Amino acid sequence: MTDSLKCEQIPYCALAAEYGTPLYIYSQQAMTAALNQYQQAFASLHPLICYAVKANGNLSILRHFARLGCGFDIVSGGELERVILAGGDTSKTIFSGVGKSSTEIEFALHNNIRCFNVESLAELARINTIAARLGKIAPISLRINPDVNAHTHPYISTGLKANKFGIAYQDAIAAYQLATTLPHLKVTGIDCHIGSQLTDLSPLIEALERMLLLVDKLAELNIELEHIDLGGGVGIVYQNEDVPDLAAYAAAVARLLSGRNLQLMLEPGRSLIGNAGGLLTTVEYIKQGEEKNFVIVDTAMNDLMRPSLYQAYHNILNVSTATTDEFVADVVGPICETGDFLAKDRTIAAKEGDLLLIQSAGAYASSMASNYNTRCRAAEVLVNGTDHYLIRRRETLSELLANEQSCLKSV
Ligand code: LLP
């Protein structure tokens, strides 16, 4: 985002006039720049960067990352369908997640994905059985839970013993030994993902060190791995966080991987799209409550869950030109819940009709949206220089209601 009233070359007010609000807006240049940072920092390691589709799976966004050479990290058959529709390369696609269904495993095998990141012994057995039925060999990596504290919000911390993710560290060797006995599996790698929005490098490095101890033990047992996957990317700046330096991360990884014949894989999501996107909203009302002021906007928790769910901070910028003096207010949506807020106790200048930009809303915003309160999903626009494209049409009420019936049956 170049100047604060424009996305690249396009004024926000022009986008609002053309497409309405709420509106997710993405800068293509910012996405490219974010990916370049990874590619440059890790260049000497030639990593396979698998964009985490869950962060934002819009087909145009996937297509953009596919064109730039990315693979994909998926967690459902639906996300695999997105990758295929967007022209992504399934041989660069890895399948994560604790609950892959038989249908999803079959779909992934038919599409020759790069590998399954397997999270349990039961899943190993199921993939083997399905691969046998299809006459295929399934490439697999084991997701190991390294039991390190990622120091992030508990809902998005995944590498602790108490979390549902991965195979327990002390069971890892036995799980690999079992995997090598299953005839329709090919063991290719090891992976971990300890959490999201990481602001500290040390847990990532500690997790890598613990993985490499396993790699060495496995080599002694003649189980040679081809790749190591370090999971999601680094945290981003929402407010004033100190985020890890990618060059420092890459240097530490390069030091630990030097002399080893292991292809590096990474699964960043948030850091490739989070700060490339914003959510544009219109102020509906200003309300002075007994104890607080409220800026009531046309965007709500169904469009951006993160403040309600994780008490996440998103910066809010008034992108209208003439406005009022600043005051302190909660920025809230129209949904009938006290948990429906976008910002609390924020110093803001706003009046009815103003346009506000909720920043850093590229990741885990539209992809987590719902229809709560029968609100239609917002439109999405991609900006590239002076061009802008509607990449998701605003949902209509008839689309929202299309699968429902009002069925009158006496009981
Ligand atoms: N790989 C796996 C296996 C993951 O579970 C995730 C994120 C990623 C990669 C991508 O991580 P990233 O690079 O984006 O940190 N809804 C939450 C975030 C949930 C993250 C879930 N897993 C939020 O809005 O903060």
For 295, the token pair is: 């800026």
Residue bearing the CA closest to ligand 1, atom 9: 232
| Residue that is last in its domain, among 270, 301, 324 | 270
Q: Which of these is catalytic: 50, 336, 376, 407? A: 336
Instruction: List, as one string, the DSSP characters of 33-52.
Output: HHHHHHHHHTGGG--EEEEE
Q: How many CA atoms lie within 13 A of 385 on its CB side?
A: 1
Q: Is residue 135 packed enough to be buried (19+ CB in 10 Å), middle (13-18) or exposed (0-12)?
A: exposed
With cut-offs at 50, 70 and 90, classify the pLDDT of residue 153.
Answer: confident
Check which CATH number belongs to the domain holding 362 and give it: 2.40.37.10
Between strands 6-7 and 10-11, the pairing is: antiparallel
What are the pLDDT digits (tens) for 351-381?
Answer: 999 999 999 999 999 999 999 999 999 999 9
On the question of pLDDT at 1 being above 60, the answer is: no
Domain assignment present for residue 107? The answer is yes
* Domain identity same for 264 and 283: no
* Domain identity same for 65 and 211: yes
Alpha-carbon span 387 to 89, nearest angstrom? 27
Please count the other Cβ atoms lying within 10 Å of the Cβ belonging to residue 305: 20
The more confident residue out of 386 and 4 is 386
Predicted ipTM? 0.99
* Domain identity same for 256 and 326: no
Asked if 86 contacts 63 with a C-beta cutoff of 8 angstroms, the reply is yes
Q: How far is the CA of 269 from the centre of ligand 1 (A)?
A: 7
Residue bearing the CA closest to ligand 1, atom 10: 232
On the question of pLDDT at 125 being above 60, the answer is: yes
- Residues belonging to the binding site are 233, 267-270, 306, 310, 337, 364
Residue 13's SS3 state is helix
* Domain identity same for 246 and 297: no
Residue bearing the CA closest to ligand 1, atom 22: 196
For 337, the token pair is: 């819940």
Alpha-carbon span 283 to 280, nearest angstrom? 10
* Domain identity same for 78 and 212: yes
Q: How far is the CA of 192 from the centre of ligand 1 (A)?
A: 12
Residue bearing the CA closest to ligand 1, atom 16: 364
* Domain identity same for 253 and 354: no
- Residues belonging to the binding site for substrate are 270, 306, 310, 337, 364
Neighbouring-strand partners of residue 191: 143, 229
Neighbouring-strand partners of residue 356: 281, 318
| Residue that is last in its domain, among 248, 270, 292 | 270
What are the pLDDT digits (tens) for 204-250?
Answer: 999 999 999 999 999 999 999 999 999 999 999 999 999 999 999 99
What are the pLDDT digits (tens) for 25-48?
Answer: 999 999 999 999 999 999 999 999
| Residue ranges making up the domain that contains 350 | 274-396
* Domain identity same for 252 and 353: no
Domain assignment present for residue 17? The answer is no
* Domain identity same for 200 and 304: no
What are the pLDDT digits (tens) for 249-276?
Answer: 999 999 999 999 999 999 999 999 999 9
Domain assignment present for residue 161? The answer is yes
What are the pLDDT digits (tens) for 186-204?
Answer: 999 999 999 999 999 999 9
At residue 118, the pLDDT reads: 97
Domain assignment present for residue 333? The answer is yes
* Domain identity same for 112 and 258: yes
Residue bearing the CA closest to ligand 1, atom 24: 364
Q: What is the largest CA-CA distance in the chain?
A: 73
Residue 330's SS3 state is strand
Among this protein's residues, is 336 annotated catalytic? yes
At residue 407, the pLDDT reads: 82
- For the chain, what is the mean pLDDT? 95
Q: How far is the CA of 219 from the centre of ligand 1 (A)?
A: 30
* Domain identity same for 293 and 225: no
Residues with CB under 6 A from ligand 1: 52, 55, 73, 96, 156, 193, 196-197, 231-233, 267-271, 306, 310, 364, 368
User: For residue 295, how far is the Cα from the chain centroid?
Assistant: 29
From 49, 54, 65, 239, the mutation candidate for ligand 1 (largest count of ligand atoms within 8 A of CB) is 54
Q: Is residue 158 packed enough to be buried (19+ CB in 10 Å), middle (13-18) or exposed (0-12)?
A: buried
Domain assignment present for residue 15? The answer is no
Alpha-carbon span 391 to 59, nearest angstrom? 8
Q: How far is the CA of 71 from the centre of ligand 1 (A)?
A: 16
Helices (H), 72-200: 77-85, 102-110, 121-134, 172-181
At residue 150, the pLDDT reads: 76
Domain assignment present for residue 378? The answer is yes
Q: How far is the CA of 215 from the centre of ligand 1 (A)?
A: 25
- Residues belonging to the binding site for pyridoxal 5'-phosphate are 233, 267-270, 364
Asked if 319 contacts 359 with a C-beta cutoff of 8 angstroms, the reply is no
C-alpha torsion sign, points 271, 35, 57, 315: positive
| Mean pLDDT on 71-78 | 98
Q: Peptide bond before 268: cis, by omega within 30 degrees of 0?
A: no
Residue bearing the CA closest to ligand 1, atom 19: 156
Alpha-carbon span 137 to 122, nearest angstrom? 17
Domain count, the chain: 2
Domain assignment present for residue 94? The answer is yes
At residue 409, the pLDDT reads: 74
Q: Is residue 141 packed enough to be buried (19+ CB in 10 Å), middle (13-18) or exposed (0-12)?
A: buried
Check which CATH number belongs to the domain holding 67 and give it: 3.20.20.10
Residue 326's SS3 state is coil
* Domain identity same for 88 and 171: yes
At residue 289, the pLDDT reads: 83
On the question of pLDDT at 2 being above 60, the answer is: no
- How long is the chain? 411
Domain assignment present for residue 212? The answer is yes
Residue 160's SS3 state is coil
With cut-offs at 50, 70 and 90, classify the pLDDT of residue 411.
Answer: low
Asked if 238 contacts 192 with a C-beta cutoff of 8 angstroms, the reply is no
At residue 159, the pLDDT reads: 67
* Domain identity same for 289 and 250: no
At residue 46, the pLDDT reads: 97
The CA-CA-CA angle for residues 237, 240, 243, to 5°, reads 50
Q: How far is the CA of 164 from the centre of ligand 1 (A)?
A: 14
| Residue that is last in its domain, among 232, 249, 270 | 270
